[in-house]
Amino acid sequence: MRIIYGGAGPTQAKIMLYQYGVLIDSGYSANTWIFNPGGGSFEANVGADVNSSPGSGDSEFTNPTPTWSIKDPGSYTVRVIFDTTDRYFDIYIPNAPGGDNDFNIEYNIYDGSVSYKYNGRGLTPSTLVSYAWVEHNITVKNSFNAAGDMNIDYTTVSIPNGGKMYNWPSPSFPHHLGAIDQQPAGIPYMQRFEKWTGNSQSSNRTISIDTVDATYTAKFLDEYNIMFQNSFSDATGGVINVNGSQTAPYQTVVLENDGITATAVSQGIDNITYYFTNWSTGSTNINETFYPISDTTIAANFVGIAAQSINLNFESSDPNLPITLHWTEYPNNNVTQYQIWRRIKYKKNPTEDPVLLATVNRGTTSYIDYDFYGTNLGYTDWMLWYDVRSYYSTEGTYPDPNWAQVFSGGLIREKPTDLEEKLTVVKENSLDNFPNPFNPSTVIQYQ
């Protein structure tokens, strides 16, 4: 017999009868407990489950000695008794060592009445067992501002916005409350359980509550969806460091009030080096901890610059010819121009400031400096540095200087047109070795 208080009103409790073992006569079903009005007697050995046994503390007994003859198995309501100081309900469990210990509950299907008999007689005070209780008001809530769910005694129950109050008698304790992660209607974020507040401060998802009037609130935190990505002018993807190195874009979740740290990574894509400038939040720290307050996308912004090296080399060993620079075409088509720069140092004089010599378009991969001769000496009084800088037109950027050193035989006094004539003569005479077959670069000067 299972004792359950509930539902029918403040002056009623319920006795639920359940099967323990069955002896079958004709007209009855052992498995379904269906009564057949066709006749026959029915005997059932049943168990009783109550929350407390008087005088023995908290305990349960599930298979009492008596065998009860039950005519109509089912749910029966017994009266709750009130006196001047207490309220209680009476459970009649016979305890007669001799005799057949029959306890009869008879339900009249016509007028709904219930009668009780013990060994064919009415119940006597010697068979009375009383249980007293106090009712406790327990309010349960979820912290988010909406209706949601909660586990009450391991059953999922809908909890209205503002909470739900239960009126539980003391014999029914302890009860169990369980928080449920959820995204209720009208709430934009997934709710993740943090802890209980009110009469409990536990961070355990499921708690056991005692016989104290109290409010228990399951406190939740918003869960934000965070997207990290790189922002390039002329590329996509790349890598970003969030919880380790990740391929961008990278999505993760962050709980309310929690921080998440990301590191921007300078990187090369399609022969353009992208250097970190700032985060979309405005921070210029390459390592930054973010504290989101909503779903958001955080971007690392970059500036793209062409690489410094384009294989710069010189034709500079002929003391009679100007220095010529050669480089390779940049492999990214968005590099549309090249700047040629030069610095000069003569003897022990200070190095002069850099000078922009020329700007040439893509497709040009050489430049002749008509200001200085080459030299076949390992060291001279004239030390020169050159730098060819690639112009990345998408962002209007040049790389930092990357100077290459060469020695010169000295300043050229002639006009560039005269030198061009010299070069032409050299090229022509180099073809036929004329007029001196032993000198392929004869130079003829008129004075």
Give the model confidence (pLDDT) of 427-437 as tens digits: 444 434 334 44
- CA 386 to chain centroid, in Å, comes to 52
Domain with CATH 2.60.40.10 in the chain: 313-413
The length of the chain, given as a count of residues: 447
What's the pLDDT tens digit per position in 293-319? 999 999 999 999 998 778 999 999 999
Would strands 404-408 and 260-263 be described as parallel, antiparallel, or unpaired?
Answer: unpaired
Quote the pTM value: 0.61
pLDDT band, residue 223 (cuts 50/70/90)? very high
From 105, 32, 21, select the one nearest 64 (Cα to Cα).
21
* Cβ–Cβ under 8 Å, residues 225 and 250: no
Tokens 């499921």: give the residue: 206
d(CA 136, CA 165): 10
pLDDT at 173 over 80: yes
Q: What is the C-alpha separation between 390 and 396, in angstroms, rounded?
A: 10
Radius of gyration of the chain (CA): 48
Amino acid identity of 194? E
Task: Give the H or E element holding residue 157.
Answer: strand 155-159
Q: What's the distance, CA 262 to chain centroid?
A: 14
**CATH topology (fold) of 313-413:** Immunoglobulin-like (2.60.40)
Q: What is the pLDDT of residues 21-50, one digit of tens each?
A: 333 333 332 332 222 333 333 333 332 322
179, 161 Cβ separation under 8 angstroms: no
Q: How many CB atoms lie within 10 A of CB 317?
A: 14
Dist. CA 138–CA 57, nearest whole Å: 24
Are the C-beta atoms of 272 and 399 separated by less than 8 Å? no
Report pLDDT digits (tens) over 233-291.
999 999 999 988 889 999 999 999 999 999 999 999 999 999 999 999 999 999 999 99
Instruction: Lowest mean pLDDT of 18-32, 73-87, 183-197, 386-400, name the range.
Output: 18-32
Q: How far apart are CA 225 and CA 232, in angstroms?
A: 23
**Helix H or strand E encompassing 424:** helix 416-432
